[in-house]
């Protein structure tokens, strides 16, 4: 079932700025971006979110940026043109919040996606960087189509077929990307994470844009290319 926003967005946003803010944001997230999904009506919230960020309306600025960033991440050419003014206001605020997110890895990654979304990037802004704080990605081998886990956290650094936490599957080593050979976007993301002191994110990016070998068929592939496919 498609979830729709409140019948009166203006009235719902007008309730922000009081003791019930948590409840109001929960209602807005549930109606506008239920479980991370974005609907056509979700775009109607962008002027209200921009007003919060610009200081013309009450509301938590980071919450507004995060919601607007998720919506912007799926904007097509028509939406991007229609809401260009809103994105232009949201972009510098996302940059400022990103610079301040030095101690919170999830917030840093979410805001990084928002920044890309407001800039018009529509691949990595759409949730594909979130594996950087989960420290794993689920991908399909492009050769044999096996479902694989790419892990680079506390459990080790490897590719495996099957649940590597509950079982003891065959694992193959990951090949981190050569920093000098990173493409422009990957290099920029790595530089931003490093400069912000998020070494785990920077390290994860080298594996995200690096190589892996399928444990099932021994086929080699680039991790980021398979993440994009999903």
User: Do the beta carbons of residue 66 and residue 52 sit within 8 Å?
Assistant: no
* Number of domains comprising the chain: 2
Please report whether residue 205 resides in a domain. yes
Does 144 share its domain with 196? yes
Same domain? 56 vs 136:
no
Q: What is the pTM assigned to this prediction?
A: 0.93
The pLDDT profile of the chain, 230 residues, written as one tens digit per residue, is 234 445 689 999 999 999 999 999 999 999 999 999 999 999 999 999 999 999 999 999 999 999 999 999 999 999 999 999 999 999 999 999 999 999 999 999 999 999 999 999 999 999 999 999 999 999 999 999 999 999 999 889 999 997 666 667 889 999 999 999 999 999 999 999 999 999 999 999 999 999 999 999 999 999 999 999 98
Residues 97 and 165 placed together within one structural domain of the fold: no
143 lies in the same domain as 113: no
In terms of domains, do 169 and 213 share one? yes
Structural domain including 57 reads 9-119
* Dist CA 156 CA 19 (whole Å): 44
């Amino acid at each position: 079932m498609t979830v729709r926003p409140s019948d009166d967005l203006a009235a719902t946003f007008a309730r922000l700025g009081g003791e019930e803010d948590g409840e109001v944001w929960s209602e807005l997230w549930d109606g506008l971006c239920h479980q991370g999904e974005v609907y056509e009506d979700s775009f109607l919230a962008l002027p209200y979110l921009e007003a919060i960020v610009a200081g013309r309306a009450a509301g938590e600025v980071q919450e507004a940026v995060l919601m607007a960033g998720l919506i912007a991440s799926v904007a097509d050419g028509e939406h991007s043109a229609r809401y260009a003014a809103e994105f232009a206001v949201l972009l510098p605020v996302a940059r400022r919040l990103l610079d301040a997110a030095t101690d919170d890895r999830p917030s840093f990654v979410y805001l990084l996606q928002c920044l890309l979304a407001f800039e018009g990037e529509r691949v990595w802004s759409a949730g594909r960087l979130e594996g950087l704080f989960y420290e794993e990605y689920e991908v399909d081998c492009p050769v044999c189509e096996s479902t694989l886990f790419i892990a680079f956290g506390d459990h080790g650094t490897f590719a495996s077929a099957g649940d590597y936490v509950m079982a003891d599957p065959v694992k193959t080593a990951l090949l981190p990307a050569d920093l000098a050979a990173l493409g422009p976007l990957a290099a920029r993301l790595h530089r931003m994470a490093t400069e912000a002191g998020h070494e785990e994110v920077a390290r994860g990016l080298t594996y995200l844009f690096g190589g892996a070998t399928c444990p099932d068929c021994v086929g080699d592939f680039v991790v980021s290319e398979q993440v994009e496919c999903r």
